[in-house]
Amino acid sequence: MIELDAEQAAARIWFESLRDRICAEFEAIEREAGSDAGFEYTAWNRDDDPDAKGGGGVRGVMKGRVFEKVGVNVSTVGGEFSPEFAKTIHGAGESPSFFATGISLVAHMANPRVPAVHMNTRFLVTGKRWFGGGADLNPPIPHDEDTADFHARLKAACDAHDPAHYPRYKKWADDYFYIPHRKVHRGVGGIFYDHLEGDFDANFAFTRDVGEAFLDIFPQIVRRRMNEAASDADRERMLAFRGRYAEFNLVYDRGTLFGLKTGGNIDAILMSLPPTATWA
């Protein structure tokens, strides 16, 4: 078992509470669509791993009428990085020990006119203590209204803390969620931030507001689009888009690499992959 200090415990409690509220809201949307789908939760732990210091998490997955596949995971883990991997992690150069707690969410939607989405926030302790995370919208068929509303809500969350946050973190998302071999962005962006260290209370408050912003705006967008008619061509477009989403997550995503390099639960790590996809 991992012994948590006050900051680590506060972060863990928040991420788990955010998971509960997000899952409840997504299940409410399924009820509105006449579906009784609900999340199935699977706990996993690292206590039996001789190379880890314990910890674990809960993988939550729902497959419904609106959400073709959505995963909402929480985890709290500790251990040691390999010497080579430690060199790539902020603050881990002096010591390979780490602690990490966070929430990670990816939703792939049944209707091609409803955007897929990704959100995660996390707190890490290496040689430093820092927050990271963000959210980005990934529509197979973009709608300017949805893009504008999503960005406006995230901007409001950023502006409440520092007017410089949004332009900086929007650009960070634009640069990060890019598929170099395709020369395209993964979606229509959002915000991405990392290595936010120093004032724990201020940085934790910002991270909470990012989570609240996501919980506020994404369900609004889903309800706006979930009953729109979609054609077979729309479905084909979505499946091709999902193929590119999978390419990014398997080739470039740092969160996927972190999970694989630290002995995380494979099913939880790869829950971001879509249920079906196509490649030309």
Positions marked active-site: 118
DSSP 173-236: HHHHSEETTTTEESSSEEEEEEEEES-HHHHHHHHHHHHHHHHHHHHHHHHHHTTS---HHHHH
Q: Give the Cα separation of 134 and 207 in Å (integer).
A: 8
Name residue, tokens 């989405």. 117
Question: Which residues, 6+ apart, have CB-to-CB distance to 6 below 8 Å?
Answer: none
- Asked whether the beta carbons of 93 and 86 are under 8 A apart, the reply is yes
Query: Shortest CA distance to 124 belongs to which of 46, 227, 194, 180?
Result: 194
Tokens of 140: 């197979």
Alpha-carbon distances of 244 from 215, 238, 278, rounded to whole Å: 25, 10, 9
Paired with 41 in beta bridges are: 60
Q: Give the Cα separation of 102 and 249 in Å (integer).
A: 18
What's 61-103 look like in SS3?
EECCCCEEEEEEEEEEEEEECCHHHHCCCCCCCCCCEEEEEEE
Q: Give the Cα separation of 72 and 49 in Å (integer).
A: 24
Question: Which residues, 6+ apart, have CB-to-CB distance to 235 below 8 Å?
Answer: 112
**Angle at alpha carbon of residue 121, lines to 120 and 125, rounded to 5°:** 135
